[in-house]
Structure 1
Amino acid sequence: MVYEGPGRVEVHDIDYPTYDLKDGPGVNKANIGRKVRHGAILKTVTTNICGSDQHMVRGRTTAPEGLVLGHEITGEVVDVGPDVEYVKVGDVCSVPFNIACGRCRNCKEGKTGICLNVNPDRPGSAYGYVDMGGWVGGQAEYVLVPYADWNLLRFPDRDQALEKILDLTMLSDIFPTGYHGCVSAGVTTGSTVYVAGAGPVGLAAATSAYLLGAAVVIVGDLNEERLAQARSFGCETVNVAQGDPVEQVRQILGHDAPAIGEPLVDAAVDAVGFEARGHGQNAQTEMPATVLNSLMTMTRAGGAIGIPGLYVTGDPGGVDEAAKEGSLSLRLGLGWAKSHSFVTGQCPVMKYNRNLMMAILHDRVQIAKNVNATPISLDQAPRGYQEFDQGAARKYVIDPHGVVGKRAA
């Protein structure tokens, strides 16, 4: 699945992966010729379309044309490099979207989202993503995973994994990302939580909030179909097209809400990011700081805001010159006055994926159902991108080899 310019993705034939990096769209020159003896080649079982992919496909990043997309990958190991010790051919594994070496200071501290050794451009890397070193994406039949012993999460039982593959495929990104947003926001037993955005990451965050023991989870969005999906597993919802979410949240909380003018929720999660739109009459107007400012307004003093939503340093379609370089008009003084904590950046997937895997395998959570996982073939992926961009309340799961389809049949 290849990005061909704003609004266009196409299925192309590409070379089979090898254990050395070649030149190509987005590949940093320092990575060309890099040996990956520590890598493994995976036959892709599932690979998902992500909202972060959509930012690139809309032309809202500096992604080069020809980039092979896909950072949400689950696959079967079909070959291993000569330096791989523990991963074996036949293992079915989840691939964290963060590419990490396991050797640098940040990796050793568990900060795998900002590995120092895999991307010459900046700390942090991912498959098939702009400014992430040029590692080939996984929306393909096969993919190379570097540092395989470190990066791959092996499922303990192959048959069980394939039976639950639509749930387990969410471990590569959105489930840990939503969970990280909630953990960063301090969600715990009895918390009242507001999640901005009812796309797949927002729904994963809402699911995670319940898993962490939240008493009330409120999800806000402009898309009524996506809000209905949030309600399907017990969330309260607000349609921000109908006005400021603060008053709507107050009405939901009822007698539990503080007095007028006081904060509303214990914790908040921004699952929208830099393409945020306004509220009420401004619902069709792009206002990239809207979500963050509203979350500061509605979060209690001393509370925290998790920000798994994507913010970028380069946005050709930004609403003004400041937005084009990621500079937003934040009410930082409000957040400072309320002693808010903010956590941003890539989720360090490896911090959470094993425990979330266990929650799935032991039926503690139904993440695929909650995000409305919808399998499609690789040939159907361009249509999936189009429908997702139009607001479909689905998480599209690409099934390149028909594994999901065969099991469903």
Structure 2
Amino acid sequence: MAGNKAVTYIGPGKVEVHSIDYPGLVLKDGPGVHPANVGRECEHGVILKVVSTNICGSDQHMVRGRTTAPAGLVLGHEITGEVVEVGRDVEFIKVGDLCSVPFNIACGRCRMCKEGHTGVCLNVNPDRPGSAYGYVDMGGWVGGQAEYVMVPYADWNLLKFPDRDQALEKILDLTMLSDIFPTGYHGAVTAGVTSGSTVYVAGAGPVGLAAAHSAQFLGASVVIVGDMNEARLAQARSFGCETVDLTKDASLAEQIEQILGVPEVDAAVDAVGFEARGHGTGAQEAPATVLNSIMEITRAAGRLGIPGLYVTGDPGAVDDAARVGSLSIRIGLGWAKSQSFTTGQCPVMRYHRGLMNAILSDRVRIAEAVNATVIPLDDAPRAYAEFDSGVARKFVIDPHGMVPA
């Protein structure tokens, strides 16, 4: 039987590559596994040889110690892989298929799944609606920053690529289908981006860059990206975005007006989440900053897409309210402007097939937009440290050396 190395959370600021059990078609006890999920049989699942798996900003929140993630948790929810074993009840997925794995784990049977809300499946996480691989409070499904991983409900969850050779040629783009590209696209779609829209994206990390590229794909006339990191702003400019530097003391509205001639946009996307910082010189953490600022600069009756992560438990929060996810949001401002906003996990399956076709037809270049950077599995701890420092890269782990040079 093959071995299985995996990226493991050790404690705040520290990850290591450890040897773990080769996956089977049953969910065993382990760090973060909900007791009600222990022993869950998954003959509807498959074992994947991981071709590529990406480091996500959501992983970084855990590694910083900003969640209640337990030590020993195997990380990773952005997974692309080759099927090497299928369960008894799998009908349509075959050994050898190359597939993208939505980061949402969904059963395909519950009311939410049948209505297309796969981010809040009712049957895979005993704690609450919604689940994901390698993530805190998500049921304990083992993460995919590993050599091998088990995927349940395979016929429902997996997106098979139509041509293996073509997929391997475009794997750096296709690896983004598991999360970051659909998540950014979801942010833009739920913000109402359409032909001719003016759009503001808060945050030039990988999700923000994916949202900006998605807004361009949807036909936006101007996409403005705001951040406090010049390297990430330069990455946004590299594919045609306007940018605003939030370390400047000029207000966001003033900087937008300098670009558009008016201090507001049609649509806004929050790609930052709960570790937001205030604007201007010497800004400190202020978790409601982005939400309040995008309400201010979005026009009346505009829409706000919020793919940025917000949590119900934050041990490192700036105050007691934020520790339980309660933020000082100016809901009165949003109400007065008749704005609407959409939150929560992106339902990846709503978008990933169409975005796959866009990649295969050369309509988008998401890997270039987010500056995809390939690393071997053993370099994951270094990549986590670099990502935390703010480098303008999306790290793609290649456990088996299968990603073409």
TM-score bracket for the superposition, by shorter chain length: over 0.9
Instruction: Provide Cα deviations, 1:344-394, integer angstroms capped at 9, x if missing partner.
Output: 000000000000000000000000001000000000000000000000100
Provide TM-score, normalisation by structure 2: 0.98
Q: What pairs up with 1:1-400 in 2 under 5 angstroms? A: 1-243=7-249, 244-254=251-261, 257=262, 264-283=264-283, 285-400=284-399
- Distance in 2 (alpha carbons) for counterparts of 1:357 and 1:333: 40
CA deviation profile, 1:156-183 (whole Å, cap 9, x unmatched): 0000000000000000000000000000
Distance 1:324 1:332 in 2: 20
Cα distance in 1 for partners of 2:273, 2:184 equals 13
- Could you tell me how far apart the structure 2 residues matched to 1:216 and 1:310 are? 25
Tell me the secondary structure at the aligned position of residue 258 of structure 2: helix
Moved over 2 A (4+): none
Deviations 1:98-117 (A, max 9, x none): 00000000000000000000
Q: Which amino acid aligns with 2:334?
A: G
1:327-346 Cα offsets, whole Å, 9 max, x none, are 00000000000011010000
| SS of equivalent residue, structure 1 residue 11 | strand
State the distance in 2 between where 1:306 and 1:77 align.
34
Secondary structure in 1 matching 2:199: strand
Q: 1:261-289, CA deviations, whole angstroms, 9 ceiling, x for partnerless residues?
A: xx610000000000000100342x00000
Residue type matched to 1:232 in 2? S
Per-residue deviation, 1:326: 0.4
CA distance in 2, matches of 1:102, 1:164: 28
Q: 2-side partners of 1:354 and 1:20: how far apart? A: 28
Q: What letter corresponds to residue 348 of structure 1 in structure 2? A: P
Unaligned runs of 5+ in 1: 258-262
The unaligned stretches of length 5 or more in structure 2 are 1-6
CA shift for structure 1 position 246: 1.3
* CA deviation map 1:49-93 (0-9, x unaligned): 000000000000000000000000000000000000000000000
- TM-score by structure 1 length? 0.97
Aligned to 1:260: none
Q: Cα deviation per residue 1:268-321 (whole Å; 9 max; x = unaligned)? A: 0000000000100342x0000000000000000000000000000000000000
Cα distance in structure 2, aligned partners of 1:239 and 1:362: 34
Q: State the distance in 1 between where 2:69 and 2:252 align.
A: 34
Q: CA RMSD in A?
A: 0.6
Query: CA shift at 1:245, angstroms?
Result: 1.4
SS at match of 2:247: helix
